[in-house]
Structure 1
Amino acid sequence: MPGLNETPTSSRFRIAIVGRRNTGKSSILNALTNQSVALVSEVAGTTTDPVSKSMELFPLGPVVFIDTAGIDDFGLLGEMRVKRTYEILHRINLVILVLDGQFAPSEWEKKILTIIKEKNLPVVGVINKVDAPNYNSVK
């Protein structure tokens, strides 16, 4: 199996990390890569453009993780960021859907799951922030 440097970016397995703003998508990317790849802040909407990180993920091989803007962003720029997030779904192989454990799933998650299902993409759900003081088990 060719390594990271021998595999063109277009041939790497692509994994998009999606979810609402401030669910911890960037923190998950940083944890998965064991690096400070994406900026993390308490401010919702910190990620404005997709952040990509290529690495080896054994036994899968060369992969690209893509951190995306929140699917619930608003305003003119927010709508542009959401559009980019949805466009990324056209060129990925797997979705990591991040949910904030402090809140029940919303229409935003239902909408993205509908698109994921239409594209027949595999999805891994991650419930984040279960250690937060306001954590309520998702029903």
Structure 2
Amino acid sequence: MLALFGGVDSSVVAALLIKAIGKQLICVHVNHGLMRKGESEQVVDVFENQMDANLVYVDATDRFLDKLVDVDEPEAKRAYDWLCIIRCINTVDVMTAEVPELDWALPKRITARVTAEVPGICRVCYDLTPKPVGTVEWE
């Protein structure tokens, strides 16, 4: 499953995965109502119609915009909720980093504290991607 935002990064990853695994990949695109004009339609056209991707399109415009009715600051509208990424690594050398096995109690405790104590954080994810393929910085 891939969150397909419509930007260059997620679109390239989606295209590569479609070539590699075809219909096994499920792409999910959520229109939150703050997209550029025609962007969601373009995502659907390219990935569903042209690339024959297994695309799930969710129009959540009303759900998102209803929560922003009383928000006057334009930047505040774009910064609705945030995602926190937990990235635990053991650095082997400058080109290699391994993801250690953790007792699940630790990330669960971190998640509970972050979502309870940090305003605006709505989701915590634990990144299991080693370097290489991934980078240490979240992109």
Please report the TM-score for the alignment, with normalisation by the length of structure 2: 0.32
Query: Quick one: higher RCO (CA 8 Å, sep 6+), 1 or 2?
Result: 1
Query: TM-score, normalized by length of structure 1?
Result: 0.32
Structure exhibiting the larger radius of gyration computed from Cα positions: 2
